[in-house]
């Protein structure tokens, strides 16, 4: 069982199934194993039982789901990266603030004249 999305309007005996509609489906059973081009069959909702030619729909990939352990690992990495980013930004800010120097008036005038 998977989801399909209609990519072009399909006229059925009970009306139209419009582009963009999503529904749960399966490949229609029967025929030869691995037979290409078998239609989809809607298995729930308003259009349950309706056959959809494969040229009228695409399958929607399942969302990636994570285990609790994977989620915890990813969250910890995100927090670590965020903290490192903040430390680096603080270090950059300190370096920029520390680069200011006071020049003697004569040196500053000489620089201005060269501009």
Same domain, yes or no: 23 and 49: yes
Same domain, yes or no: 92 and 47: no
pLDDT in tens, 58-86: 999 888 888 999 999 999 999 999 999 99
Domain range for 8 is 2-60
Same domain, yes or no: 93 and 76: yes
Same domain, yes or no: 18 and 51: yes
pLDDT in tens, 79-95: 999 999 999 999 888 88
Same domain, yes or no: 73 and 97: yes
Give the count of domains, the chain. 2
Distances (CA, A) of 89 to 67, 82, 83, 92: 33, 11, 10, 5
Is there a contact between 7 and 58 (Cβ–Cβ < 8 Å)? yes
Is there a contact between 23 and 45 (Cβ–Cβ < 8 Å)? yes
């Amino acid at each position: 069982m998977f989801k399909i999305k209609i990519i072009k309007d399909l006229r059925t005996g009970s009306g139209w199934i419009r582009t963009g509609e999503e529904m749960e489906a399966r490949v229609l059973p029967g025929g030869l194993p691995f037979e290409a081009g078998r239609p989809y069959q809607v298995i729930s909702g308003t259009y349950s039982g309706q056959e959809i030619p494969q040229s009228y729909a695409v399958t929607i990939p399942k969302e990636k789901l994570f285990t609790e352990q994977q989620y915890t690992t990813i969250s910890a990495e995100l927090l670590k990266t965020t903290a490192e980013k903040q430390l680096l930004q603080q270090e950059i800010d300190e370096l920029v603030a520390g680069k200011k120097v006071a020049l003697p008036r004569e040196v500053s005038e000489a620089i201005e004249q060269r501009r």
